[in-house]
Amino acid sequence: MHLHSKQQQEFLARHIGPNEGETKEMLQTIGMGSVNELIEKTVPASIRLQKDLAVDAPISEFEYLKKITALGTKNKLYKDCIGMGYYGTITPSVILRNVFENPGWYTQYTPYQAEIAQGRLESLLNFQTMVADLTGLPIANASLLDEATAAAEAMTLLNGSKGKEGKHKFFVDQYTFAQTIDVLKTRALPVGVELVFGDFATTTLDESFFGALLQYPNSEGAICDYRNFIQQAQAVNCGVVMACDILSLSLLTPPGELGADVAIGNTQRFGVPMGFGGPHAAYFATKDEYKRVIPGRIIGVSIDAQGNRCLRMALQTREQHIRREKATSNICTAQALLSNMAAMYAIYHGADGLRDIAKRISTYTQALANALGSNNVHGQYFDTLKIKVADVKSTVTSLENAGYNVRAYADNHIGISIDETILPNDLGALANALGAAPISYSDILSNIPDWATRTSDFLTHQVFNSHHSESKMMRYIKSLEDKDLALNRSMISLGSCTMKLNAASEMIPVSNPHWGSLHPFAPKHQWVGYQELIAELEKDLSEITGFDACSLQPNSGCSG
């Protein structure tokens, strides 16, 4: 028993700084005989806990790893075709091993000290270039928290720039992702913004609107022609935000070319696991006129004291860590690790690789639509179909029995989204479960209209055209890591809530598919492991704090 107890203490000894001798020396210095005596002298008896906490007995690091792996197997892995902003993706092994699972990348702190952060600053600059190229807008930040937050930040930006007396309305197309609408409602209320929901095709904007949000493609997968709506908005000085699927922009006309003021979205499908909903890096791009009010941070190119090219965080005076309550936004973070992964994904594949992935996805989607015939509702789409079925419940059950999750609508329709993990045999299984005709393929993407077909180049910079072999990619990642400071090189003196506080064992489940590959809208019976984990943590935190219940809603600085 004693030996097992020592094994349980190994984790503490390896991660809590002072050892037994150092603790004794510190106690002697302040004239205390023990830690308990110190507590008795400093914490009033009236507020000291008088009983032991009713929490589970401690386990060793080895036992924890066995337990968390076994618990993860209670989360059932299906092929997720639910869509709604979250998609299966293939994380290239060179990025998985050398970025996602590498403490040289995941323990870095915010790059406030440019001289020890040149590697990650270059990667974040690559992210900004990738976003600006794909969206067709001249300036992008180094990422935000998620797509819904980015939409709320875009609303705030336009309200600050165009909102005035009598101009307080923000239009939101009814086919925007539900999670985005929920965040917009929360963020609009305290600042006096009136949200107006409706169909862009039948809505008339007037001088009372300062902004509008459109989903592209929309939440049902349809590619809608927003050009007349955007012209109408411009005529009444109403800014337009387009929430865009980042991969679709390798095939679709970018929002900047359509006249949008802001483009936002999620970069999750660029090699970042779904992770049951996050974290993921959002993107935010806009016109040059908004560069001094764009939220988040921007990496800029500068020169050092010796006249050499260097990188730094530019326009920091907009940020909360400098301007406090006068900051442009209270979003004081970038999803650095995830944005770095997305940037590396774009570098590894390049423009041609992204086009190939997007074309394959859209070709497969069109093949399934053709097999379904008239049951497919929308004729113009990228990767998502809305399909009429006789009975939603039985169809969803049949597809789940075949190993696939789909979106269930309330009106005798289902939604199916195709991603890069879907293979030809999956299409056959989906068609078979839906009673569709056999799958056949076409080289012509008739599901994308001419006006929405991208003709402009993107990712033309050398960095996106130089590292397409695994060995070159590995060397590039390492070259950036070598220009940086992370916990694998040194103690990081800057503090607070960053990945550097997580032990390796705590990070291991992150890349385990049973924890990382679940869709956030998967049926509840498929994520029993998550339910048990959440329930145990809520119970323990309630016991520790003395409250009846505990919310696990994020409350970090990045959430404001």
522-552 pLDDT, tens per residue?
999 999 999 999 999 999 999 999 999 998 8
pLDDT of 173 higher than 70? yes
| Helices 424-433/392-401 angle, 10° precision | 140
pLDDT at 4: 64
Cis-peptide into 217, omega within 30 deg: yes
pLDDT at 205: 97
Cis-peptide into 279, omega within 30 deg: yes
pLDDT at 301: 95
**Confidence category of residue 320, pLDDT binned at 50, 70, 90:** low
Whether the CB-CB separation of 454 and 251 falls below 8 Å is answered with yes
Q: Which residue in 312, 282, 279, 277 sits closest to 296, CA to CA? A: 282
- Taking residues 261-290, report their average pLDDT: 96
- Taking residues 264-288, report their average pLDDT: 96
- Taking residues 355-362, report their average pLDDT: 98
pLDDT at 494: 67
pLDDT at 555: 53
Task: Kindly report the pTM of this predicted structure.
Answer: 0.94
- Taking residues 101-128, report their average pLDDT: 92
Q: How far is CA 241 from CA 254, 516, 520, 554, in A?
A: 12, 30, 25, 26
Whether the CB-CB separation of 265 and 244 falls below 8 Å is answered with yes
- Please calculate the CA angle 79-522-152 and round it to the nearest 5 degrees: 115
Q: Which residues pair with 265 in a beta bridge?
A: 283
**Number of residues that make up the chain:** 560
pLDDT at 163: 85
Ordered strands of the 262-266 beta sheet: 139-140, 282-286, 262-266, 239-244, 209-216, 169-173, 194-198
What CA–CA distance (Å, rounded) separates 168 from 282?
A: 26
Cβ atoms within 10 A of the Cβ of 455, count? Answer: 7
Joined together, the tokens standing for residue 465 give 């055209």
Residues 363-406: pLDDT tens digits? 999 999 999 998 999 999 999 999 999 999 999 999 999 999 99
Helix spans in 373-469 (H): 392-401, 424-433
Residue type, 367: A
Residue type, 253: T
pLDDT of 2 higher than 70? no
Of 229-233, 428-432, 490-494, which gets the smallest average pLDDT?
490-494
**Confidence category of residue 240, pLDDT binned at 50, 70, 90:** very high
**Confidence category of residue 560, pLDDT binned at 50, 70, 90:** very low
Residues 420-457: pLDDT tens digits? 999 999 999 999 999 999 999 999 999 999 999 999 99
Q: Which residue has the higher pLDDT, 270 or 316?
A: 270
End-to-end distance of the chain based on CA atoms, in angstroms?
46
**Confidence category of residue 107, pLDDT binned at 50, 70, 90:** confident
| Helix, strand, coil percentages in the chain from 3-state DSSP, rounded to 5 | 45, 15, 40
- Taking residues 494-498, report their average pLDDT: 59
pLDDT of 91 higher than 80? yes
Cβ atoms within 10 A of the Cβ of 206, count? Answer: 11
pLDDT > 70: what percent of the chain? 95
Residues 27-84: pLDDT tens digits? 999 999 999 999 999 999 999 988 999 999 989 999 999 999 999 999 999 999 999 9
Whether the CB-CB separation of 265 and 282 falls below 8 Å is answered with yes
Q: Which residue has the higher pLDDT, 319 or 198?
A: 198
Compute φ and ψ for 332, nearest 5 degrees: -110, 30
